[in-house]
């Protein structure tokens, strides 16, 4: 498979579809360089992946309201009437992490092609995890708006604790990755305070506590959208890793 990727890249280079500055390096020797090469493949060769974090008919009024609240802060208008970037930025959400990069769609079909992100593997909108993430780089915060579907039931009428932990890990790991590059979860310490009713919309607020070398310490609170109810409190530890760890196991 690795040799096939190399041959395909060389073919694109001969056709002039790869940048002349691109340097092909054997996949088996330097995996991180291979990723860099694949990313330079022309985007028109690959279909635009679906962003699962965009509004859909399954969203309730509170989910929609909170989305609009943060989305309108992604772009602000100056006194002169010009548009500029706001404090928040919406993060796209795909069913495979490789789709974040140009050329990743192709790679995702070659490497474990049937794999899907756990939180994005149910096709029925609204049945499980409906969520969208926004990040504030200046405040070093990440916010997730989550609407919990009926397939996430644990205690009757309420969200399973494992589903809550999954979303906490998803949000804090995404936040840590934005702060420090690729990371792996080392520890999640979750205190469950109040159950979350199925179908309700909650906020997951992730904040950077500190960084020590390869260690990134994150805190996360799950609350009602108005902040009056605290559902969980979490402290998380992540370790920075290299791309070779991700590709080589």
What residues are annotated to the active site?
A: 169
Both tokens assigned to 86? 């706001």
Helix segments in the chain, DSSP class H:
2-14, 31-39, 61-71, 104-110, 161-180, 243-248
Secondary structure (H, E, C), the chain: CHHHHHHHHHHHHHCCCCCCCCCCCCCCCCHHHHHHHHHCCCHHHCCCCCCCCCCCCCCCHHHHHHHHHHHCCCEEECCCCCEEECCCEEECCCCCHHHHCCCHHHHHHHCCCCCCCHHHCCCCCCCCEEEEEEEECCCCEEEEEEEECHHHECCCCEECHHHHHHHHHHHHHHHHHHHHCCEEEEEEEEEECCCCECCCEEEEEEEEEEEECCEEEEEEEEEECCCCCEEEEEEEEEEECCHHHHHHC
3-state DSSP call for residue 3? helix
Q: Count Cα atoms within 13 angstroms, Cβ side, for 200.
A: 19
Calculate Rg over the CA atoms of the chain: 20
């Amino acid at each position: 498979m690795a040799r096939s990727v190399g041959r395909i890249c060389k073919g694109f280079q001969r056709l002039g579809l790869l940048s002349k500055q691109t340097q092909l390096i054997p996949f088996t020797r330097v995996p991180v360089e291979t990723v860099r090469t694949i990313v330079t493949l022309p985007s028109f060769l690959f279909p635009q992946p679906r962003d699962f974090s965009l509004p859909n008919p399954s969203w309730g009024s509170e989910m929609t309201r909170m989305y609009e609240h943060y989305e309108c802060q992604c772009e602000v208008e100056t006194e002169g009437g010009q548009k500029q970037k706001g404090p928040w930025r919406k993060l796209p959400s795909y069913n495979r992490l490789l789709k974040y990069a140009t050329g990743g769609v192709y790679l995702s079909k070659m490497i474990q092609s049937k794999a899907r992100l756990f939180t994005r593997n149910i096709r029925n909108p609204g049945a499980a995890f409906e969520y969208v993430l926004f990040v504030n780089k200046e405040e070093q915060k990440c916010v997730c708006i989550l609407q919990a579907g009926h397939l996430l039931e644990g205690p009757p009428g309420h969200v399973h604790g494992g589903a809550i932990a999954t979303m906490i890990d998803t949000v804090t790991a995404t936040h840590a990755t934005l702060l420090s590059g690729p990371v792996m979860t080392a520890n999640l310490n979750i205190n469950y305070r109040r159950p979350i009713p199925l179908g309700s919309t909650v906020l997951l607020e992730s904040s950077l506590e500190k960084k020590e070398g390869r260690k990134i310490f994150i805190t996360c609170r799950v609350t009602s959208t108005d902040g009056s109810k605290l559902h969980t409190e979490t402290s998380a530890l992540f370790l920075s890793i290299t791309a070779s760890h991700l590709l080589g196991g």
